[in-house]
Every structure is written in structure tokens, then in C-alpha cells.
Amino acid sequence: MAKRKNEMPLVEKLYMENLGTFEESGGFCNDDDQVAERREELAQKRQRRLDRASSIPADDCLMCAKPILDSFLWDRFRHPICDGCRDDKGAHKLISRTEVFTMYLLKDTDLDMRKPPLRYISRKNPHNPRYGDMKLYLTSQVVDRMLEVHGSHEGLEEAKREKDEKREVRNEKQFEKKVKEMRKQIRGAQKQHTATTRAHEHSFGEEIEDTKTGEWKRECCECGYVEKFEKM
């Protein structure tokens, strides 16, 4: 088995190392920095090869069945839809990698390691240009990949419910843990206060008479407690 693993191509090794259920990964992979950087390098090389092959003539448009003359979707995603039939607000909307994770519960390996790897285009981050470039994917291709992973739209909804249930259980456990810690701190403070109160003996200073009320008072020099009394 070890020999078989050593003979694996690097891409297959990365894929095997990152396999696991969605729940285990939480929608993301736990790669170390070296593996993540290597995977990103492979993805960029693969994308450059696909870009060089984009000059291949397209088939007829899937929607209007006419020959494709101009097609952004074919040039960048190899999706045979002409520009006239392109639906930017629906099936052909471009979505970010983060949206792919949250909306369709796909992992890095589902996008980069499964064959064929999903194509994407890079754009500057609109929130801050100093951040890394955004990877934008074609919605229709993401939906097809989601069906491969989850089996159906119902399977996706079931996976979302399971994820929400596990999040609720995790939040409840965290809340209970915080409550226990607070109770422990309160009990500790009460014990400390009781021990301090029992051990403390007031050391009063000079007795002072209030000429208006006729009361006398004295103050503890250590804790500031004021005792009032009357003299017969």
C-alpha cells in the first residue's frame, strides 16, 4: 500500500489527503500552508493551460442552437452559450469561491481536484484591492458539481440541515460551558468574600460625635466601614 501511495501522481496524493466528509471539513479543508500553496500553484497552471486552449471552436449554442460567433462563456469557461443567450442574473451569473462554499457546501477538493476541475476567472477584490484576487465561478457549472457531490437539490438541503443542527449543538455546548465557568467564578468569589469577611476584624479609629444628631461614629481604618452608635 505504501508503495502504491509513493507511485501516485502529486495531484492524486493531494486529493486523497484532503478527502473527508463535509462535516469534518466544515466546508473548508484543513491543509497546512505547504499543501495549500502547492495546490494553488497546480490550479493556476491548470487554468493557464485551459486559457491557451480557449481558441478551440465552440459547438452550437445550447440554447438557440445557432453557431457561436462570440461567446464570453465559451472563451473563459468552455460553456457553449452565445453572448445573446447569456443570462448574467441566473444560470450564468458569476459567483465567488466563498459563495460556492456557503451556498452549495462544496470543498476546495470538489472545485480543484475532481475532474474536470472547475474553471474560474480572477478579478480584483472590490472591497479592498490589497486583498488577494477573487475567483469567480459559473453558477451553472457549480450547480452541476453540487449535484455530483450531494446527488440532488434535496441532498444539498439535507446537508444544510445537518450542518445547521450540528452548529446548534456546538453553540449549545459552548453556551453551557460559559455558564458553568461563570457559576464557578461566582462561587469562587463568594467563597473568597466569605473567607475575607470572617477573617477581618475591624480596627476603628477615633470616635467622633455628630453634634446635630447626637450620634457617635467611628470608621474602620482598614475597610472603611462606619459604625454609628449612641452614648448614654
14 contacts 39 by C-beta, under 8 angstroms: yes
pLDDT (tens, 9 = 90+) of the chain, 232 residues, equals 444 445 555 655 565 555 554 444 444 444 455 665 666 677 666 666 665 555 566 778 999 999 988 899 998 899 999 999 999 999 999 999 999 999 999 999 999 989 899 999 998 888 777 778 889 999 999 999 999 999 999 999 999 999 999 999 999 999 988 888 888 888 877 776 666 556 667 788 888 888 888 788 888 887 788 888 887 6
> What pLDDT shows up at residue 93?
96
Q: What is the pTM of this model?
A: 0.57
The third-level CATH classification (topology) of the domain covering 2-164 is Nucleotide Excision Repair Protein XPA (XPA-MBD); B Chain A (3.90.530)
Q: In the prediction, which pLDDT does 196 show? A: 59
Angstrom distances, CA of residue 151 to CA of 90, 123, 166, 201, 212: 21, 31, 21, 75, 89
The 3-state DSSP class for residue 89 equals coil
Q: What is the DSSP string of 50-71?
A: HHHGGGSPP---TTT-SPPS--
The rounded Cα 18 to chain-centroid distance in angstroms is 17
103, 149 Cβ separation under 8 angstroms: no
The pLDDT of residue 25 is: 45
Residues 139 and 94: their CA atoms lie apart, in Å, by 6
The span from the CA of 173 to the CA of 181, in Å, is: 12
